[in-house]
Amino acid sequence: MAQTTKPDNETCAGNCAGCPSATGCNDPRNAGAPRDLPPKADISVKHVVLVLSGKGGVGKSTVSANLAFSLANRGYNTGLIDLDIHGPDIPKMLGIESARLQSYDGKIIEPVRVTGNLAVISMAFLLPERNTPVIWRGPMKMTVIRQFLEDVNWGDLDYLIVDLPPGTGDEALTIAQLAPNIAGAVIVTTPQDVAVLDSSKAIEFVRKLDIQVLGVVENMSGFVCPHCKEEIDIFGKGGGEREAKERGVPFLGAIPLDPEMRKAADEGRPFIIRQSKDSPTWKSFDAIMNAMVEQVEG
């Protein structure tokens, strides 16, 4: 087998010249990074937080939307990227489903602003109809992910929350390579063994990329009957906490299975502002946000 060597800068730049999105090997943004990885996106953000799950249906987008809204309510300039390109739900959950993106100077995209310090970008804003499918292979997704980072007028952000699709595929790998200042990842699971098994894969994926696991969130953890007030463990309880302990990562907290959470998402009003602060579920969410911020900034 012939021995291969890395090309020098001149040769590499020459080979890349035909690609309009390529950057020469001497780009300072590449300093300290492996030579075959793309440069980090040019975006002003202090902390990027990835929200992942090993499988779908565990409430990852619910956690992302409420987490972003909570941070904005605390005064942080917050961005939220919905990277579930094939099934974007964040606009529905925030009541901005009918919004469309505007651009100026032929390139810069204005995100949809939910409040004065919370801005959102999603594939849903680009679809002609709400039921239009996105039928894309990996390279198309990689291109739009860089555009969502670099070509959007985010301003100066304290936090950028990234809601990822289930699993550890193109979207998760691309954002991990492109996003600067990644503070870490939040792993969302439900208590049952099947969900916990898949969440362990997400934890190991994050570790392999040298990204900090900020913690595990156990969603749909127990259900309090509104009639008899008895707690029923529909999906079990404690699976996420046990997994966090076994993997040696923080456990950020558990969120009960609450019908009000579903209503909030359907009505497009984040649960964190829809419910009273006396709600046990609200308190759970608030504690999780505080624990995550402590992990990032503590």
Give the model confidence (pLDDT) of 20-57 as tens digits: 444 444 555 545 544 567 899 999 999 999 999 988 99
Distance, in Å, from the CA atom of 120 to the CA atom of 81, rounded to the nearest integer, reads 6
Of the pLDDT bands very low, low, confident and very high (cuts 50, 70, 90), residue 104 is confident
Annotated binding site: 54-61
Triad 136, 94, 289: Cα angle to 5°? 100
The string over 165-186, giving b where at least 16 C-beta atoms fall within 10 Å of a residue's C-beta and e elsewhere, is bbbbebbbebbbbbbbebbbbb
Distance, in Å, from the CA atom of 274 to the CA atom of 90, rounded to the nearest integer, reads 16
Distance, in Å, from the CA atom of 63 to the CA atom of 162, rounded to the nearest integer, reads 11
* Angstrom distances, CA of residue 37 to CA of 20, 33, 278: 16, 7, 48
3-state secondary structure of 218: strand
For 35-55, the DSSP string reads: TTSPPPP---EEEEEEEE-SS
The domain spans of the chain are 55-297
What integer pLDDT is reported at residue 38 of this predicted model?
A: 83
Assess contact for 42 and 179: CB atoms under 8 A.
no
Distance, in Å, from the CA atom of 28 to the CA atom of 39, rounded to the nearest integer, reads 9
Regarding beta strands 223-224 and 231-232, do their DSSP bridges make them parallel or antiparallel, or are they unpaired?
Answer: antiparallel
Of 3.40.50.300, 3.10.129.10, 3.90.1150.10, 3.20.20.70, which CATH number belongs to 55-297? 3.40.50.300
What integer pLDDT is reported at residue 29 of this predicted model?
A: 52
pLDDT at 14 exceeding the cut of 60 = no
* Angstrom distances, CA of residue 234 to CA of 269, 280, 289: 25, 18, 25
Amino acid in position 5: T
Nearest of 138, 155, 136, 124 to residue 45 by alpha carbon: 155
By the 10 Å C-beta count (0-12 exposed, 13-18 middle, 19+ buried), 139 is classed as exposed
Element (H or E) spanning 184, and its range? strand 182-189
Of the pLDDT bands very low, low, confident and very high (cuts 50, 70, 90), residue 113 is very high
Predicted TM-score of the model (pTM) = 0.85
pLDDT at 161 exceeding the cut of 80 = yes
Nearest of 118, 119, 126, 84 to residue 101 by alpha carbon: 126
What integer pLDDT is reported at residue 287 of this predicted model?
A: 94
Annotated binding site for ATP: 54-61
The predicted-structure confidence for 72-94, as pLDDT tens digits, reads as follows 999 999 999 999 999 999 999 99
Residues whose CB falls within 8 Å of the CB of residue 156, separated by 6 or more in sequence, listed in order: 44, 45, 77
The predicted-structure confidence for 226-281, as pLDDT tens digits, reads as follows 777 677 888 878 999 999 999 999 999 999 988 888 899 999 998 988 877 888 88
